Amino acid sequence: MNYPMIRYILFQVMRIEGILMLLPCAVSVFYGDGEGLTYAIIASILIIAGFIGCKFVPKNQTIYVKEGFAATGFTWILMSIVGCLPFVFSGEIPSFTDALFETVSGFTTTGASILSNVEGLSHTALFWRSFTHWIGGMGVLVFLLAIIPMSGGSNINLMKAESPGPSVGKLVPRIRRTAFILYAIYLVMTIIETIFLLCGGLNLFDSLCIAFGTAGTGGFAVRNDSFMSYGPAIRWIVSVFMLLFAVNFNAYYYVLLKEIKKAITMEEVRTFFLIVLAAIAVVFVSILDMYANAFDALTDAVFQIGTVVSTTGFGSADFDLWPTAAKFTLCFMMFMGACAGSTGGGIKVSRMVLLFKTIRQELASMIHPKMVRRITLDKRVVDDEVIRSTNAFLATYAGIFLISMFLVSFNGYDLTTTFTSVLATLNNIGPGLALVGPTCNYGFFSVFSKYVLIFDMLAGRLELFPILIIFNPSIYKK
Amino acid sequence: MPFFKTTPSGLRIIIVGAGKVGATLVEQLSAEGHNITVIDKDPNKIREITSAYDVMGLAGNGASYLTLQEAGVSNSDLIIAVTDSDELNLLCCTIAKQFSKCAAISRVRTPDYSREASYLREKLGLEMIINPDLVAARVMSRILYMPRALEINSFAHGQAEIIKLKIPEGNILNKMTIAQFGANITNNILICGVERDGKVVIPSGNFELATGDIISIVGTRKEHSSLFKKIGFDTHQVKTAMIVGGGRSTYYLASILLKSGIDVKIIERDLTRCENLSEFLPKAVVINGDGTNTELLLEEGIDTTEAFIPLTGIDEQNVMLSLHAKKTSSAKIITKINRTGFNDIVSSLDLGSVIYPRYITTETIIAYVRARKASSGSNIETLYHLFDARAEAIEFRVTEDSNIINIPLKDLKLKDNLLIAFIGHNGEAIIPRGNSVILPGDTVMIVTTHTGFNDITDILR
- Which chain B residues are Cβ-neighbours of A172 within 8 angstroms? 35, 56
Question: Is the pLDDT reported for residue B377 higher than 70?
Answer: no
Tell me, yes or no, whether B274 and B257 share the same domain.
yes
CA distance B264 to B241: 5
Q: Is the dihedral of CA A190, A195, A201, A207 positive or negative?
A: positive
Chain B contacts of A261, Cβ < 8 Å? none
Residue of B42, B51, B67, B451 for testing the chain A interface, max A β-carbons within 10 Å: B51
Q: In this structure, are B333 and B388 located in the same domain?
A: no
- What residues of A are in contact with residue B56 (Cβ under 8 Å)? 169-170, 172-173
**Inter-chain touch A174–B51, beta carbons under 8 Å:** no
Q: Do the Cβ atoms of B51 and A65 come within 8 Å? A: yes
Which of B130, B161, B191 marks a domain boundary?
A: B130
Report the number of distinct structural domains present in chain B: 3
Q: Give the pLDDT band of residue A460 (cuts 50, 70, 90).
A: very high
Residue B137 lies in a domain: no
Query: Are residues B53 and A65, on separate chains, in Cβ contact within 8 Å?
Result: no
Greater pLDDT, B341 or A475: A475
Assess if residue B230 is contained within a domain.
Answer: no
Under 8 Å CB pairs connecting chains A and B tally to: 46
What residue of B is the nearest CA neighbor of A159? Answer: B51
End-to-end CA distance of chain B: 37
> For residue A300, with 0-12 CB atoms within 10 Å meaning exposed, 13-18 middle and 19 or more buried, which class applies?
buried
**At residue B341, does pLDDT exceed 70?**
no
B55 and B69 belong to one structural domain? yes
pLDDT, one tens digit per residue, over A198-223 is: 999 999 999 999 999 999 999 898 98
Q: Is residue B69 part of a domain?
A: yes
- Tell me the chain B residues in contact with residue A65 when contact means C-beta distances shorter than 8 Å: 51
Question: B303 with B387, same domain?
Answer: no
| More confident: B235 or A114 | A114
- Could you tell me if residue B442 is inside a domain? yes
Q: Does A34 touch chain B (CB under 8 A)?
A: no
Indicate whether B346 pLDDT > 50: yes
Residue B23 within any structural domain of the chain: yes
Going by pLDDT thresholds of 50, 70 and 90, the confidence category of residue B2 is very low
Q: What is the band of B149 on the pLDDT scale with cuts at 50, 70, 90?
A: confident
Residues B100 and B79 occupy one common structural domain: yes
- Long-range contacts made by residues A466-473, C-beta under 8 angstroms, separation at least 24? A466/A69, A466/A70, A466/A72, A466/A73, A466/A76, A466/A161, A466/A162, A467/A73, A467/A76, A468/A396, A469/A66, A469/A69, A469/A70, A469/A73, A470/A70, A470/A73, A470/A74, A470/A77
Q: How far apart are CA A319 and CA A214, in angstroms?
A: 19
Residues 6 or more apart whose Cβ sits within 8 Å of residue B131: B107, B108, B109, B114, B117, B252
Question: In terms of domains, do B61 and B23 share one?
Answer: yes
In Å, how far is A261's CA from the nearest CA of chain B?
14
Is the CB of B4 less than 8 angstroms away from the CB of A257?
yes
How far apart (Å, rounded) are the C-alpha atoms in residues A297 and A265?
A: 31
Confidence of residue A165 (pLDDT cuts 50, 70, 90): confident
| Residue A436 predicted with pLDDT over 70 | yes
What are the tens digits of pLDDT across the range B202-211? 887 788 888 8
Report DSSP letters for B258-286, one per residue. HHTT-EEEEEES-HHHHHHHHHH-TTSEE
Residue pLDDT, tens place only, B275-318? 999 998 999 999 999 988 888 998 888 888 999 999 988 888 99
Q: Which residue of A has its CA nearest to B10?
A: A174
Chain A residues inside the 8 Å CB shell of B52: 153-154
Judged by a CB distance cut-off of 8 A, whether residue B157 touches chain A is no
> What is residue B376's predicted lDDT score, i.e. its pLDDT?
41
Provide the pLDDT for residue A89.
93
pLDDT number for residue B8 = 47
Q: What is the distance in angstroms between the CA of the first residue and the CA of the last residue of chain A?
A: 8
Provide, rounded to the nearest whole percent, the portion of chain A with pLDDT above 70.
99
Nearest to A250 by CA among A235, A232, A265: A265
Q: How far is CA B139 from CA B109, B193, B417, in A?
A: 16, 20, 26
**CATH code for position B389:** 3.30.70.1450
Say whether both B282 and B377 belong to one domain.
Answer: no
Q: Is B37 on the interface with A (CB under 8 A)?
A: yes
- Chain B residues close to A176, C-beta within 8 Å: 54
CATH code (residue B14): 3.40.50.720
Indicate whether B365 and B442 sit together in one domain. yes
Is B159 part of a structural domain of the chain? Answer: no
Residue B7 has pLDDT above 60, yes or no: no
**Do B32 and B84 share a domain, yes or no?**
yes
CA A178, A183, A189, A192 torsion: positive or negative?
negative
Neighbours of A276 (CB within 10 A): 20
Nearest chain B Cα distance for residue A160, angstroms:
10
Pairwise CA distance, residues A416 & A437, whole Å: 10
Q: Does the CB of B61 have a partner CB in chain A at under 8 Å?
A: no
**Does A173 contact B55 at a Cβ distance shorter than 8 Å?**
yes
My answer on whether B53 and B117 are in the same domain is: yes
Please give the pLDDT value at position A330.
Answer: 94
Q: Nearest-CA distance from B43 to chain A in Å?
A: 8
Looking at chain A from residue 390 to 449, which residues have their Cβ under 8 Å from any Cβ of chain B? none
Contacts of A257 in chain B (CB under 8 A): 4-5
Least confident of A236-245, A453-462, B101-110: B101-110
- Cβ separation B51–A157 shorter than 8 A: yes
Among the ranges given (A375-389, B272-286, B444-458), the one the predictor scored with the smallest mean pLDDT? B444-458
Domain span including residue B61: 2-130
Span B250-257, mean pLDDT?
92
B271 touches chain A (CB under 8 A): no
pLDDT at residue A423, as a whole number: 95
Q: Is residue B366 part of a domain?
A: yes
Q: Tell me the residues of chain A between 228 and 267 that have a Cβ less than 8 Å away from chain B.
A: 253, 256-257
Q: Is B45 on the interface with A (CB under 8 A)?
A: no
Q: Kindly indicate the confidence band of residue B348, based on its pLDDT and cuts at 50, 70 and 90.
A: confident
Axis crossing angle, helix A384-409 with helix A447-461, rounded to the nearest 10:
170
B196 vs A457, residue with greater confidence: A457
Residue B196, in any domain of the structure = no
**CB spacing of B51 vs A153 below 8 angstroms:** yes
Q: Which of B355, B381, B398 is the last residue of a domain?
A: B355
Would you state the pLDDT for residue A152? 66
Complex prediction ipTM: 0.78
Q: Please check whether residues B443 and B336 belong to one and the same domain.
A: no
Residue after which a domain boundary falls, among B102, B130, B158: B130
Are both B301 and B339 inside the same structural domain? Answer: yes
- The whole-angstrom distance between B35's CA and the closest CA on chain A is 5
For residue A51, the model assigns a pLDDT of 93
What pLDDT is stored for residue A367 in this prediction? 92
| Among A175, A176, A383, beta carbon nearest to B43 | A383
Tell me whether residues A156 and B50 touch, CB distance under 8 A: yes
pTM of the full structure: 0.82
